[in-house]
Amino acid sequence: MKQTTRTAIVKPLPEHLFRVHGNSAEMRWEAMSGMGYHTPNDRFFVRNHTSTPLIDATTWSLRVHGDGVRRERAFGYDDLRAMPSRTYDLAIECAGNGRRFYRTQQENGAPGTQWGLGGIGVARWRGVPLRHLLKEAGLLPEAVDVLPTGLDAPFEDHGHVRRPLPVSKAMDDVLVAYEMNGVPLPPDHGFPVRLVVPGWVGIASIKWLGDLEVATTKLFTPWNTLFYPEVTTQPVKSAFELPWNATVPLPGPHVVRGRSWSGRGRIVRVEVSLDGGTTWREALHHGAHLVKAWLPWHVNWAPRHTGPHVLMARATDETGTTQPSVTARHPLGYHFDAVVRHPVRVVSG
Ligand SMILES: Nc1nc2c(c(=O)[nH]1)N[C@H]1C(S)=C(S)[C@@H](COP(=O)(O)O)O[C@H]1N2
Ligand SMILES: [Mo]
């Protein structure tokens, strides 16, 4: 019998917008060129442990239960949509974003998906604060952890994708989102609802949410012991809105654009080098300066000679942390925050 090909991702993945890695797809950064503040849904990266499930919202419900709440509750899709909503511009970024550069730039590579810098996107998310649902279920003062579980197929022999969150974060700024950039969540991004956990590793933002257990003890799953131990807040990073090995014609001047972000807070400064790190200048930026999203910036560039050039961007966030030139080896390849050397080729115009 011939096997039918099943794709793990529902939306189209055109070659000019995505680089596919198994069940996941990374955005090509040139796909942000000419875009506004948000990453359009058609080019937002997808990170799936297995496959995108197709869920019927009319029969779906979200169970909130456990010894950390006074009463078990179940909320349907319409129940959630009828509650007071909040709208936030927030980034979701995979902990492994940039993993490839441990190998290509530092010779201390790590196994796993070899993401470039396209495992990030910023969307306008609308939904209900998780705090509201926990209060509705009668959150007890003894509650410690909240465990969201996804409805996608179990991953290997580890069960459904699930990762505990401390109650303090759950009660602070976590959103139970049902809308992404003004439309219902697309299937690949968690329809009917997902968590959006500002500033934290992408795995915290559980998609296809089906269950929330509230416990009075610390909880452990493979996703906070084996796969993403000790990673919470995302570090500061930058990317150019250019193809890898972009061709840049003489004489210019060109506007070179990029974005910087940090899970720890606002970006306060971005410096750019157009000569492989010999000289640096401050990038110009204006407009949105959001805490848990990103900062778009640009520099003007009139290259003077043809041939290979290396572009670099180095951001500083409000905690005073600047991107280093080298990142310490990480056994799982998470949190690559060093300045990335972006190759371009200047050609005669
Ligand atoms: N249920 C479920 N939630 C999940 C995942 C998953 O495979 N299953 N992947 C996580 C990871 S590792 C990341 S980086 C983000 C990616 O979100 P996106 O696919 O909408 O970009 O979703 C997270 N939530
Ligand atoms: Mo991830």
Same domain, 52 and 154: yes
Instruction: Answer whether 21 contacts ligand 1 (Cβ < 6 A).
Output: no
Residue 218 burial (CB count, 10 A): 10
| Domain end call among 225, 245, 262 | 225
Q: Is the separation of the CB atoms in 300 and 76 below 8 Å?
A: no
**Cβ(207) – ligand 1 distance below 6 Å:** yes
C-alpha 31 to ligand 1 mean position (Å): 21
Does residue 232 form part of some domain? no
- Tell me whether residue 230 is in a domain: no
In the numeric block, which tokens belong to residue 344? 């371009």
231 is a domain residue: no
Among the three residues 225, 250, 278, which one is the final residue of a domain in this structure? Answer: 225
With contact defined as beta carbons under 8 Å apart, do 89 and 290 qualify?
yes
Give the model's pLDDT for residue 289.
64
**Per-residue model confidence (pLDDT) at position 349:** 80
- Closest residue by CA, ligand 1 atom 20: 189
| Nearest one of 32, 17, 36, 18 to 239, comparing CA atoms | 32
Is 150 a pocket residue for ligand 1 (Cβ < 6 Å)? Answer: yes
Strands 246-249 and 342-347, by their bridges, are: parallel
Measure 225 CA to ligand 2 centroid, in angstroms.
15
State whether the beta carbon of 151 lies less than 6 angstroms from ligand 1: no
119 and 164 inside one domain: yes
Residues 154 and 214 in one domain: yes
- Give the position of tokens 């909880």: 219
**Residue 130, in any domain of the structure:** yes
92 is a domain residue:
yes
Low-confidence ranges of the chain (pLDDT < 50): 1-5
Asked whether residue 221 falls in the same domain as residue 241, the answer is no
Ligand nearest to the CA of 206: 1
Segment (H or E) for 168? helix 167-170
Q: Tell me the CA distances in angstroms from 155 to 49, 161, 188, one per residue in order.
A: 6, 7, 16
What is the number of the ligand closest to the CA of 193?
A: 1
**pLDDT digits over 192-244, tens only?**
999 999 999 999 999 999 999 999 999 999 999 999 888 899 999 999 999 99
Statement to judge: residues 19 and 86 lie in one domain: yes
> Any idea what the CATH number is for the domain that residue 342 is in?
2.60.40.650
DSSP code string of 305-341: S-EEEEEEEEEEETTS-B--SS----TT-----SPP-
| 142 strand-pairing partners | none
Instruction: Please give the pLDDT value at position 287.
Output: 64
Which residues neighbour 229 within 8 Å (Cβ) at sequence distance 6 or greater?
A: none
pLDDT of residue 234: 95
Parent domain of 285: 237-347
| Residues 217, 241 within the same domain | no
What are 103-150's pLDDT values in tens digits? 999 999 999 999 999 999 999 999 999 999 999 999 999 999 999 999
Which residues of the chain form beta strands (DSSP E)?
A: 18-21, 24-27, 61-65, 73-76, 86-93, 120-129, 145-150, 165-166, 175-180, 183-184, 194-196, 209-215, 237-240, 246-249, 254-261, 267-273, 281-282, 295-301, 307-317, 342-347
State residue 4's pLDDT score.
44
Say whether both 216 and 266 belong to one domain. Answer: no
Q: Which residues contact 311 (CB under 8 A, 6 or more apart)?
A: 240, 242, 256, 272, 273, 274, 341, 342, 343, 344
Residues 245 and 291 in one domain: yes
Which one, of 282, 140, 152, 128, lies nearest residue 208 by Cα? Answer: 152
Cα–Cα distance, 166 to 38 (Å, whole number)? 29
Candidates 271, 289, 268, 288; CA nearest to 280 is 271
Last residue of a domain, one of 197, 225, 253: 225
Identify the CATH number of the domain in which residue 64 sits: 3.90.420.10
DSSP string, 93-135: E-TTTTTHHHHHTTS---SS----S-SEEEEEEEEEEHHHHHH
What is the best residue among 54, 93, 196, 203 to mutate for testing ligand 1's pocket, by most ligand atoms within 8 Å of CB? 203
- The CA dihedral of 110, 200, 311, 104, to the nearest 10 degrees, is 0
Contact in structure between 335 and 231 (CB atoms under 8 Å)? yes
Same-domain check for residues 214 and 328: no
Residue 244 is encoded by which pair of tokens? 């890898």
Tokens, residue 332: 């799982």
- Which amino acid makes up residue 55? I
List Cα–Cα distances, 333 to 26, 52, 101, 232, 292, in angstroms. Answer: 16, 25, 9, 14, 22
Which tokens go with 171?
A: 């009660």
Report CA(202)–ligand 1 centroid distance (Å): 6
Question: pLDDT value at position 228?
Answer: 86
Residue 94 CA: nearest ligand 1 atom is 14
> Do 221 and 291 fall within a single domain?
no
Q: Would you say residue 221 lies in a domain?
A: yes
Residue 26, domain member (yes or no): yes
* Number of domains composing the chain: 2
Q: Are residues 121 and 27 in contact, defined by beta-carbon separation less than 8 angstroms?
A: yes
In terms of domains, do 12 and 151 share one? yes
**Do 138 and 254 fall within a single domain?**
no
Is residue 262 within 8 Å of 235, Cβ to Cβ?
A: yes
